[in-house]
Every structure is written in structure tokens, then in C-alpha cells.
Amino acid sequence: MQAAPGQDTPTPVSIQLLLFVDERPSSQETIGQIQNYLQSLKTDYSIDLQAIEIGEQPHLVEHFKLIATPALVKIFPEPRQTLAGSNIVEQLKKWCPRWQLAFEEQIANTSKRNGSSQTLSPKLDDVGYAAELIRLSDEVFRLKQEKEELLDQLKFKDQVLAMLAHDLRSPLTAASIAVETLELTQTQENNERTAKLKDQLYQQARKQFRVMNRIITEILQASKTMNAELRVQHGRVYLQSLCEEILAQFAEQFQAKSQKLEKDIPQDLPPVYADAELIRQVIVNLLDNACKYTPEGGKIQVSILHRTTQKIQVSVCDTGPGIPEEKRERIFEGHFRLKRDESKEGYGLGLSMCRKIVRAHYGQIWVDSISERGSCFHFTLPVYR
């Protein structure tokens, strides 16, 4: 039957409910209980119930600002109302009669105004549209963030390439000169002076190769860990032996600058729950920085403290220039370097990687520093249980 010209076509009206559930088996039981109760009601109008799995439509969850499931949302008649908890059916029995009265009053008022049974009932599609707007808005925000991150990465890669070209040239040239000079000395008479010169040239070449290796290693490690999830292989790690092994590798480096090493590593420390190779990377980085920034004849301290029954603290201290208070958090950010350090080797990546590794071990890393008197870097690890 068609409506006469000038008349509105009556639209079906109903109480409209949304039931939000999760994947738990009890959710199906809740849906069935609510459906059975609604079907038992004798009304001249329908009660529309739509069940929504929160994992499939998370933006509807955001739209209605839900904090728990199951949750039943009445979207019509207005005002909107939400019932949540394990006793939704009992709550529904309390509220449904009131909703029915409000619904009947709203229909009657609308009919008087419009001369028909048409109502301004919001459609479920309209709710979905609003949720889709939220989803699209979130997606646009996420894409903008990704764009900014990609642009920052491209800019950083350009800077790294430029720095690599510059920084590798000097040690490569020095090592090449040392090797070429060694070749020339092969034809000279082998006396004490020549032997001493050869020894100096070998040391110079080794030193420059170490510099190049450090530069390349830092970049490679950064590319593996900065923008990827760390694969942590937790196990029982004894920090005493790990630290002693690393310090032995640094002995020549400390000796070259006449730096004094002080150790306080108790032998009765419990093992930590950690990835040995990743923690090695943290300690090596901190020691390398300590050696780099401590002047000739300065002091480097390495200590381990059993702070609580659950935490072990490792500390690496130096007698370098210190870190300004306002920069002590920023030095752990990726690509950040103090202006005074721009002439030194490195790319400001090491401490950022250290923080990422330590946090992946449920620990903390921080620095205490006094200007012109040095810095102490500390990090914690959980005790193995």
C-alpha cells in the first residue's frame, strides 16, 4: 500500500539495544538469556537486539566508551543507557518496563507532532557510521605518525651516510698509511729502531681498524634493534663472569689512556633472568662511553649491587665531563647527541639501544652526573627465580 502524496511513510519503530560481548564461551549463554527474556515480553512493537563481538568492532566499543563486557547499550529511546556486569538479565528486568513507558510516550508525542507513527529513532547503521568516523580518524592520525617517523628515518639515514663517509675516511687513511709504511720497512735492515717503528705502525693500524669496526658495529646494531622488536632469550646469567670477561677485553683500551679501573663485583651474587648477549651489548656500550669520555689518567668504576631480593643493579662510572641535568633523559633518545660530542665518534644510538634492551628485561636505566666530575650509569635486572 502506497502513501498518499504529501504524507510520510510510517517507519517501523522499536526499542534498540546493542549487546557487546567477548570471545568467552559464557558470552553465548548471556546472549541466549537476554534473547529469551526479550521474547517473553508481550508488546505491540519490536525490541531489536544486536550482539557485537568487541574484537570485530573495537571502534564501536570506543564510540560508547565501554570499559567491561558483557555490556548492554540502549540507544533508543533516548537517553542512552548502559548496563554492564554478570547480572545483565536481572538489571534488564528492572529497567525494561521503564524503557517501554519512555518508548510509548515518545511515539505518542511524535505522532501528535507529525500526524503519523514516524519517529526519530536512530538507526543502528547511524551508530556504525559514527564508529566508522572514529576509526577513520584514528587511522588518519596513525598514518600521519607513521609518515613523520618515516621522514625522520630517511633524514637520519642521509645523515648517517654522510657521517660514515666522513668518519671512515680518517681511520681508513691512517690505517692505509701505516700498512704502506710497513711494506716499505720490509726492505730495510732489521734493527732495533726498525723493529720499534714496525711495532708502532702495527699498533696504529690495529687502533684505526678498531675505530672503523666500532663505527660499523654501532650502525649495524642500531639497524637491527632500533626499529624492530627485540627477541629476548631469557635464561640464567651470572653477571660476575660476564663482567670479568668484558673487562678483560677492555684492558688494552684502558691502558692506552692510562685509565685506572676499579671493580666492586661480589662473587656471591645470584644469577639474573636475562639474555646474556643483549646484556653484554649494554655493558660494552657503557664501558666504551666511559673510556671515550674519561680523560687520560682518569678513573672508571664498575660495580654490581644486590639491591633487593628481586633486583640486581649494575653501575658504570667515569670521571668525564658529566651530563647537564636538563639532558639526562634526552641522552637515552634515539639519535640525540650533546653538542660538545658532535666531534667525537658515534651516532647517538648506543644509549637508546641500552634503554630498549634494559626495558625488555623489565629493568630501568638512568644516569647520575655532576658537571665536570663525571657520570654514573645504572641499570637493573631481575633476579633469576
Range of the domain at 349: 235-382
Identify the pLDDT of residue 382: 93
CATH code: domain of residue 254: 3.30.565.10
Asked if residue 4 is part of any domain, the answer here is no
Task: Supply 330's cell numbers.
Answer: 634526552
60 CB-near residues (< 8 Å, 6+ apart): 18, 20, 52, 54, 127, 128, 131
CATH code: domain of residue 113: 3.40.30.10
pLDDT tens series, the chain, 385 aa: 333 444 444 444 678 888 988 888 888 888 999 989 888 887 767 788 888 888 877 777 777 788 778 899 888 887 888 998 888 889 988 998 888 888 888 777 766 666 554 444 445 555 555 556 666 766 777 788 888 878 776 776 666 666 566 566 667 777 778 788 877 777 666 777 777 877 788 887 877 787 777 667 666 655 555 555 567 889 999 999 999 999 998 998 899 899 999 999 999 999 999 999 889 989 988 998 899 889 999 999 999 999 888 899 999 999 998 888 877 888 887 654 445 454 454 444 678 888 888 998 989 999 998 877 899 999 999 999 7
Indicate whether 52 and 85 sit together in one domain.
Answer: yes
Indicate whether 160 and 262 sit together in one domain.
Answer: no
CATH code: domain of residue 189: 1.10.287
Indicate whether 221 and 316 sit together in one domain.
Answer: no
Indicate whether 188 and 321 sit together in one domain.
Answer: no
Identify the pLDDT of residue 121: 47
DSSP E strands in 77-142: the ranges are 81-84
Task: Supply 22's cell numbers.
Answer: 567477548
Identify the pLDDT of residue 6: 43
- Domain end residue (candidates: 162, 196, 225): 225
Spatial contact of 43 and 99, defined as CB atoms under 8 Å apart: no
| Local structure of 345: helix, strand or coil | coil
Identify the pLDDT of residue 2: 38
| Local structure of 112: helix, strand or coil | helix
Identify the pLDDT of residue 258: 94
Indicate whether 97 and 148 sit together in one domain.
Answer: no
Cα 122 to Cα 11: distance, rounded to the nearest angstrom? 12
Indicate whether 362 and 244 sit together in one domain.
Answer: yes
**What are the backbone angles phi and psi of residue 70, rounded to the nearest 5°?**
-70, 155
β pairing state of 14-21 and 46-53: parallel
Asked if residue 189 is part of any domain, the answer here is yes
Indicate whether 41 and 93 sit together in one domain.
Answer: yes
Asked if residue 8 is part of any domain, the answer here is no
β pairing state of 260-264 and 299-305: parallel
Asked if residue 133 is part of any domain, the answer here is no
Beta-carbon count within 10 A of 147 CB: 10
Identify the pLDDT of residue 223: 57
Indicate whether 255 and 350 sit together in one domain.
Answer: yes
Identify the pLDDT of residue 199: 79
Asked if residue 6 is part of any domain, the answer here is no
Asked if residue 130 is part of any domain, the answer here is no
Asked if residue 181 is part of any domain, the answer here is yes
For residue 314, give the nearest of 373, 341, 350, 354 by alpha carbon: 354
Indicate whether 215 and 241 sit together in one domain.
Answer: no
Indicate whether 99 and 193 sit together in one domain.
Answer: no
DSSP code of residue 118: -
Cα 379–chain centre separation: 18
**What are the backbone angles phi and psi of residue 13, rounded to the nearest 5°?**
-120, 150
Burial of 88-123, coded b for 16+ CB within 10 Å and e otherwise, reads beeebeeebeebbebbeebbeebeeeeeeebbebee
Identify the pLDDT of residue 346: 44
